[in-house]
């Protein structure tokens, strides 16, 4: 979309505020830049505004003031349908269409974008493999899958039209610890290959340290600070130290020190 | 055995009035679906419309049927032919279950599914026709089923204004104190209601999303 300046931020918030219809502020004075190929984690408690921030990027929500730019184009002035189709979106409850097979779910955006059927078929097979699912699962319905399999399908669906940006709202939050660990590991290796620009919402510090290139810490509708995982552990910011204390020690071992 | 004999003797007329009955119920149901589903969608998507739409449909439901036929009689084009009038009245009664179930069905769609669809860039139309309506279809159909069963019964009253249908037998039988005549209207009407109930119930199960 718009101009493709390789060095500029892929996503930029400029002085963004968001209010509920009843006037209650959920987000204020937000300035944030997300660079190409990084995984920016929005970390915060429930109600801190992290999901709101995410939904402002694909304009599921519209800011009250300020503006959000995607690839240097104001989302306010963009065609919202085109914008959303160029951004992958994964949510905790997955939201697979229960009346569609796995294949149809994954192929949804390509189909409404009018890809020819053989190309969709090929892409679906490629994606099933990419997220580690057996090809024969394609003909199943979502209710026939386990929670982990469902979320893999959710990720595959978001990647279908090969968007450069991926928004993930606590995608692994509802999974058991072992499945979560596995999916986090796969996310890291997938991200190394695909190099998407990812904005990832979580309240789990361990997950944030493990997956994030940078962590944006949010509290009560404000962005507190943006730090790399290593910086986060050494930070003297009271909120950051409170997080580190709450999650206990041995966090060092999980911190993402990788380039991407 | 008397009754069977009577039915056999009058089979042509019973057939004719049954078809007339079906026509009244069929047309009014189609109209109620055409009007009721859009109204149900409207009130599910824009809460402002919810109260006026459902409220009006509710009030119509409380008007006694004979009175409604009476009210509509002086309306110019409608009053010209009794069947028009009957069809309009039956349509009005059938609206409430159709609107209410469309509303309930669409509101019952998992919000995560709608959010995911919206987030992936489905337009409102795509969301409605590919996600919401298909997922709500069995709930909507169960509303249509209620509407049809109620209409089959109500349509017998249409004979009071000369719109025909199986009510003719019933009213004639009442006037002549002839139970056989009453049953000649009541039994086919009951059969119609039961088969419609069964048939639509079957369809409803078939279309239930997984």
Beta-carbon contacts of residue A62 (< 8 Å; ≥ 6 apart)? A56, A76
CA distance B51 to chain A (A): 20
The mean pLDDT value of chain B amounts to 92
User: With an 8 Å Cβ cutoff, is A45 touching chain B?
Assistant: no
Residue ranges in chain A modelled with pLDDT below 70 = 1-6, 249, 258-260
- Judged by CB atoms closer than 8 Å, whether chains meet at A93 and B110 is answered as yes
Find the residue in A nearest to B115 (Cα).
A95
A201 and chain B: CB distance < 8 Å anywhere? no
Rounded to 5°, angle at Cα B173 from B171 and B179: 140
- Cβ-proximal residues to B38 (8 Å cutoff; 6+ apart), any chain: none
Among B113, B121, B209, select the one facing A95 at the smallest CB separation: B113
Predicted pLDDT of residue A139:
95
- The answer to whether B60 and B106 have CB atoms below 8 angstroms apart is no
- What pLDDT is recorded for position A231? 93
Specify the pLDDT at position A3.
Answer: 46
- Beta-carbon separation of A109 and B209 below 8 A: no
Give me the pLDDT at residue A1, please: 44
Q: What is the ipTM of this complex?
A: 0.87
Q: Which helix (H) or strand (E) holds A15?
A: strand A11-19
**pLDDT, position A6:** 59
pLDDT of A245 reads: 87
Of the candidates B115, B120, B209, the beta carbon closest to that of A85 is on: B120
Each residue's pLDDT tens digit, A59-80: 999 999 999 999 999 998 899 9
Nearest-angstrom CA–CA distance, A149 and A146: 5
| Confidence at residue A258, expressed as pLDDT on a 0 to 100 scale | 64
pTM of the full structure: 0.86
pLDDT digits (tens, 9 = 90+) for A222-250: 999 999 999 999 999 999 999 988 887 67
Measured CA to CA, the distance from residue B13 to residue B23 in angstroms comes to 15
- CB neighbour list of residue B131: distance below 8 Å, 6 or more residues apart: A97, B109, B113, B114, B117, B122
Helices B179-207, B133-155: inter-axial angle, 10-degree rounding: 180
Is B76 exposed, middle or buried, given 0-12, 13-18 or 19+ CB atoms closer than 10 A? exposed
The closest alpha carbon to B69, from B166, B172, B154, belongs to B154
- Tell me which chain A residues have a C-beta less than 8 angstroms from the C-beta of B210: 98-99, 141, 143
Name the nearest CA neighbour of A27 among A38, A40, A18: A18
For chain B, which residues score pLDDT lower than 70? 1, 210
CA separation, residue A101 to residues A107, A140, A177 (Å) = 10, 5, 27
Distance CA(A129)–CA(B17), nearest Å, equals: 63
| Residue A58 with chain B: CB contacts under 8 Å | 119
């Amino acid at each position: 979309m718009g101009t493709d300046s390789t060095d500029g931020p892929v996503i930029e918030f400029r002085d963004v505020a968001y209010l509920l219809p009843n006037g209650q502020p959920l987000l204020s004075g937000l300035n944030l830049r997300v660079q190409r190929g990084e995984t920016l984690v929005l970390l915060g408690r429930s109600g801190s505004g992290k999901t709101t921030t995410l939904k402002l990027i694909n304009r599921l929500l519209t800011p009250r003031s300020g503006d959000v730019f995607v690839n240097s184009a104001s989302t306010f002035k963009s065609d919202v349908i085109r914008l959303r189709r160029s951004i992958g979106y994964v949510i905790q409850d997955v939201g697979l269409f229960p009346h569609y097979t796995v294949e149809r779910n994954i192929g949804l955006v390509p189909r409404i974008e009018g890809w020819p059927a053989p190309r969709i078929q090929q892409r679906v097979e490629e994606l099933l493999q990419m997220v580690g699912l057996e090809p024969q699962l394609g003909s199943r319905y979502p209710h026939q899958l386990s929670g982990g399999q469902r979320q893999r399908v959710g990720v595959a669906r978001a990647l279908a039209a090969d968007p450069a940006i991926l928004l993930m709202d606590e995608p692994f939050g509802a999974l058991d610890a072992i499945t979560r660990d596995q999916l986090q590991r796969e996310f890291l290796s997938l991200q190394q290959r695909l190099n998407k620009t990812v904005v990832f919402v979580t309240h789990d510090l361990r997950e944030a340290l493990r997956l994030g290139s940078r962590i944006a810490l949010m509290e009560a509708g404000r962005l507190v600070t943006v730090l790399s995982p290593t910086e986060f552990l050494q930070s003297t910011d009271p909120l950051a130290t409170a997080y580190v204390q709450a999650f206990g020690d041995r966090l060092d071992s999980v911190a993402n020190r990788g380039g991407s | 055995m008397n009754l069977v004999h009577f039915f056999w003797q009058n089979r042509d007329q019973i057939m004719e009035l049954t078809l007339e009955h079906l026509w009244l119920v069929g047309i009014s149901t189609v109209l109620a679906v055409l009007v009721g589903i859009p109204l149900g969608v409207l009130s599910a998507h824009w809460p402002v419309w919810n109260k006026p739409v459902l409220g009006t449909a509710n009030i119509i439901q409380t008007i006694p049927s004979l009175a409604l036929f009476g009210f509509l009689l002086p309306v110019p084009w409608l009053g010209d032919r009794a069947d028009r009038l009957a069809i309009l009245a039956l349509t009005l009664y059938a609206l409430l279950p159709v609107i209410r179930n469309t509303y309930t069905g669409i509101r019952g769609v998992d919000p995560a599914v709608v959010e995911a669809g919206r987030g992936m860039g489905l337009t409102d139309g795509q969301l409605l026709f590919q996600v919401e309506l298909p997922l709500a279809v069995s709930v909507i159909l169960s509303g249509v089923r209620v509407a049809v069963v109620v209409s089959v019964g109500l349509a017998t009253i249409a004979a009071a204004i000369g719109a025909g249908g199986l009510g003719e037998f019933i009213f004639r039988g009442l006037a002549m104190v002839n139970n056989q005549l009453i049953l000649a209207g009541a039994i086919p009407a009951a059969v119609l209601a039961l088969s419609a109930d069964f048939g639509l119930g079957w369809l409803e199960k078939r279309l239930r999303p997984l």
